[in-house]
Structure 1
Amino acid sequence: MAPPLRSEADNDSKYLTKMLLSCLLLLILLLPNYIVVSQTIISTLPGFPGDLPFKLETGYVGVGELDDVQLFYYFVESGGSPKDDPLVLWLTGGPGCSAFSGLVYEIGPLSFDFTESSKSSPTFKLNPYSWTKVANIIFLDAPVGTGFSYAKSWEGYNMTDTLSAAQTYEFIRKWLMAHPTFQRNPLYIAGDSYSGIVVPIIVEKISDGNEAGRKPAMNLQGYVLGDPTTVPHDDYNSRIPFAHRKTLISDELYESIKTNCNGEYINIDPTNTPCVSDLIAVTECISKLYTGNILEPTCSYLSPKPLAVGSKWDPSYGEDSVDLLLTAPQIPKPWCRSYNYLFVYIWANNKTVQEALGIREGSIKEWTRCNASLSYTDNVFSTLDYHRNLIKKGYRMLIYSGDQDMVIPYVGTHAWIKSLNLTVSEDWEPWFVDGQVAGYAMEYNYKKCRLRYAIVKGGGHTAPEYKPKECFAMIERWFAYYPL
């Protein structure tokens, strides 16, 4: 029997069905470029008594090919005027240090109550100097492999400076599309330590995207960098003059090493015996110091190997042996700052906490404050050209350094700022908090660009963890266009 003839209407219906399926498939492929995959409003958190007195949102945004990379964020709405206050995207350094570290140890609304916390029950208290009093802040776990961010494939974990910056740019575009009420807010990109490499790249991408008409248009105003890596070689090389200024090495040794090493302390000729000998002497002088803040005690069994002059160690990795602390019968004396980091490991790896935060089950094996095992390749060795380009575009810049930080010494930071050959509009002068000198600052300009450089007295790596009150005063005044 011959098959029944299909009517023209049947053919039209079949064609329309195919078209609809094709459109639906295309929509599925395109939608991740415009929506946040998930977001959760958090009203209570384990360890904090009662309801949170601020708006906290967590979520994932997919970036990269087919949204293979899932970047996790914490968003805290401003306690002032959310619709008017700046929107800040915050990146903690490393690379590989979770933004939650910045949230609870630096600039966020919560901090651990160390007197009330125990190993089994970490407890929070409010941070009176939270930057969220004057800004809406997105704390982003980037690059992938940091904090709760993860990739769906192993290839997604292969990361570089430029790829990380590109994915963060994609993140902020998608986040703003999902939060259109914040598209008009003044936007600042901020971070500290190693974020000094990626932040200027991100800012340039946003600026270029605005000029190209990419949506959404972002109200980009500038960026903030704390104790930033900028030219890694020069940053690490400046540890020698910093050590001399802080009387950690003698005048005689300093003059000798300058002569014998010809000012180069990183790429050393091993056959230059006088230079090698001087470097050994310098290392002996500084190896027992806590380089995150040379005024604080160091912990021998919680810290990595002694800091050699040219090493790239970041004190964020100072709790590599946190298991030793967990099993220790008591905290040894003297107190060391890295003991504070114990509580965040206990808290963030608690299943109840992860459920409260909306963490996807099985997405990570174990949360670490700083992931030292990232598959990460440095491919940007200087951000000076990015800074020069952004200066020409007229953006605002705040760069600050703790004056006791020997990881990224202020000596090197101030040197590269001066190398930009900007006009000094306000020369070196003290700034005050509660009538006391909180640090020193100066301002540079080029046409519409304003670059404020601030030293935080007593600050370490990084400054807000050591001097929260002073750093809050600094950022509050800067956002408001007031002198420090």
Structure 2
Amino acid sequence: MKLRALCGPPLCLFLCLLFQSGLSQTVVKSLPGLPGDLPFHLETGYIGAGELDDVQLFYYFVESGRSPRDDPLVLWLTGGPGCSALSGLIYEIGPFTFNYEKSSRFRPALKLNDYSWTKVANIIFLDQPVGTGFSYANNWESYNIDDNISVAESYEFLRKWLKLHPQFLSNPLYIAGDSYSGVIVPRVALEVDKGNEVGLEPKMNLEGYVLGNPLTSYDSDLNSRVPFAHLKGLISNELYESAKTDCNSEYINVNESNADCVDDLKVVNLCVENIRTANILEPNCVPQSPKSTVSDRWDPTLINRDPSPLLLPTERASRVWCREYNYLYSYIWASDRAVQDALHIREGTVEKWVRCNETLSYTSNVLVVIDIHKELIKRGFRALIYSGDHDMVFPYVGTLAWIDTLNLTISEDWHAWFVDGQVAGYATLYSSFPSLFTFVTVKGAGHTAPEYKPKECFALISRWFDYLYI
């Protein structure tokens, strides 16, 4: 009644439609754990997608600290499927992260990230698919999703977001993400270009896409774990040669009647079962899945498991440091009602925030996206693919294997790239006019690279966005 008294019928109708469509954007001025006002522009909000906007996708948007009008606009899709955008923002490429030295179990502290990609780009961090992070649906049916639905709803979100932020329509647009988003990002990029072709509004200034440690082909990527383990000295040369012969270089979906191959892979599994697959150099603290880490299909619990049963190192000083301890702070911080109020989370829409939702009702129905890469290259888009060279989830050797199938012309073969005069990794530059395709390893990094080597990855993305030599 008060609303009707304050405005005429046209405005009331507009406000009602706005509410029903789920459009909600708010500028966040401060965050618990970070003293003072935010030194960067942060907007959070919801945008509806799907039939009747039943799906409410939550996002964080950070303007570039350099030149918002000119710098690229990036849609960032964290992998999983079901890993929160906050994970990518706070542990990888966003403007703030946890200050572990000043944090306690009950009071996580934040600090600015000196190597945030938002120093050179405007970035939308999207909680997708629905059921991820703070995104939710108004009915249970909308939680039953697959790769196709995830792509469609991410594309719909981007169109609606740009309609609400037309000042960014002329900025170079990149679709980006890592891990499982390797099957989503290229398809969203292709949808954007197809939408432009048929005249859908708004027309987007798509220039390319970026992928880190990506899943691209289930069979190729998972099959590469055995040769990767051999390259890194995790299995002996004799065992590798035996498995290579007995299994005919096929280490997944093995025929159980091939006893020699099965026996070889049992020994391989014994060798790697206590290795942390996300980074083989770090301690393995969360128990592995009882399933094979070599022959089974993608099992997100191997790297995304809830670490909450673990104790913080300050409470168990005798324990070795584990990266999972870092993840505990995100559960504590994001579950704090004061934090959710600051982010303008709709109360009662998410029962419990988790970094990666392992109960997501998700069907992986796209097993290979190599042809999508070929199509994007044909259409002339830039691509940057980077991999931590100590990642055994999706090893770089598997990524190189599918890149070889693209039959691109190498413009500059495998060479070192440098940060502060030190080798930061190795790169291969490809050209397939008018497209430019770049593959880069990040030395010492795991799954995914910016979490382990933020300085090097910031140098990499800065150069690539600015068309500088890598």
Normalised to the residue count of structure 1, the TM-score between the two structures is: 0.92
Shift of 1:144: 0.3
Partner of residue 27 from structure 2, selected from 41, 46, 68: 41
User: Residue 418 of structure 2 aligns with which residue?
Assistant: 432
* Structure 1 pair 76–36 and aligned structure 2 pair: CA distance change class (3 A): farther
User: Residue 330 of structure 1 aligns with which residue?
Assistant: 316
Larger displacement relative to structure 2 (282-291 or 264-273) = 264-273
* Structure 1 pair 56–258 and aligned structure 2 pair: CA distance change class (3 A): same
Greater Rg by CA: 1
User: Residue 181 of structure 1 aligns with which residue?
Assistant: 167
Structure-2 separation of matches of 1:300 and 1:365: 25
Residue type of the partner of 1:229? L
Partner of residue 399 from structure 1, selected from 374, 385, 402: 385
Q: Identity rate of aligned residues, in percent?
A: 60
User: Residue 459 of structure 1 aligns with which residue?
Assistant: 445
- Establish whether residue 73 from structure 1 lines up as the match of residue 21 from structure 2: no
Matched residue SS, 1:115: helix
Partner of residue 137 from structure 1, selected from 84, 108, 123: 123
* Structure 1 pair 331–205 and aligned structure 2 pair: CA distance change class (3 A): farther
* Structure 1 pair 306–115 and aligned structure 2 pair: CA distance change class (3 A): farther
Structure-1 separation of matches of 2:322 and 2:162: 40
- Establish whether residue 116 from structure 1 lines up as the match of residue 102 from structure 2: yes
Structure-1 separation of matches of 2:51 and 2:304: 34
Residue 314 of structure 1 contacts residue 407 of structure 1 at CA under 8 Å; is this kept in 2?
no
Shift of 1:319: 3.9
User: Residue 295 of structure 2 aligns with which residue?
Assistant: 310
Shift of 1:385: 1.0
Structure-1 separation of matches of 2:159 and 2:257: 52
Structure-2 separation of matches of 1:234 and 1:390: 20
Shift of 1:30: 8.0
- Establish whether residue 157 from structure 1 lines up as the match of residue 146 from structure 2: no
Shift of 1:326: 6.6
User: Residue 265 of structure 2 aligns with which residue?
Assistant: 279
Shift of 1:363: 0.3
* Structure 1 pair 55–365 and aligned structure 2 pair: CA distance change class (3 A): same
Structure 1 unmatched ranges of 5 or more: 1-20
User: Residue 216 of structure 1 aligns with which residue?
Assistant: 202
Shift of 1:432: 0.1
User: Residue 342 of structure 1 aligns with which residue?
Assistant: 328
Q: State the Cα deviation string for residues 186-234 of structure 1 (Å, max 9, x = none).
A: 0000000000000011000000001111100100000000000000111
Residue 95 of structure 1 contacts residue 143 of structure 1 at CA under 8 Å; is this kept in 2?
yes
Count of aligned pairs between the two proteins? 460
Matched residue SS, 1:322: coil
Partner of residue 146 from structure 1, selected from 132, 151, 156: 132
- Establish whether residue 470 from structure 1 lines up as the match of residue 461 from structure 2: no
User: What pairs with 1:179-328 in structure 2 (closer than 5 Å)?
Assistant: 179-300=165-286, 304-305=289-290, 308-311=293-296, 312-314=298-300, 317-325=303-311
Structure-2 separation of matches of 1:240 and 1:478: 31
Structure-2 separation of matches of 1:125 and 1:413: 34
User: Residue 355 of structure 1 aligns with which residue?
Assistant: 341
Structure 2 unmatched ranges of 5 or more: 1-8
* Structure 1 pair 355–463 and aligned structure 2 pair: CA distance change class (3 A): same
Residue 317 of structure 1 contacts residue 372 of structure 1 at CA under 8 Å; is this kept in 2?
no
Residue 220 of structure 2 contacts residue 401 of structure 2 at CA under 8 Å; is this kept in 1?
no
Matched residue SS, 2:418: strand
Normalised to the residue count of structure 2, the TM-score between the two structures is: 0.94
Residue 286 of structure 1 contacts residue 307 of structure 1 at CA under 8 Å; is this kept in 2?
no
Residue 307 of structure 1 contacts residue 313 of structure 1 at CA under 8 Å; is this kept in 2?
no
* Structure 1 pair 306–320 and aligned structure 2 pair: CA distance change class (3 A): farther
Structure-2 separation of matches of 1:314 and 1:79: 34
Q: State the Cα deviation string for residues 52-74 of structure 1 (Å, max 9, x = none).
A: 10000000000000000000000
CA RMSD, Structure 1 to Structure 2 (Å): 2.0
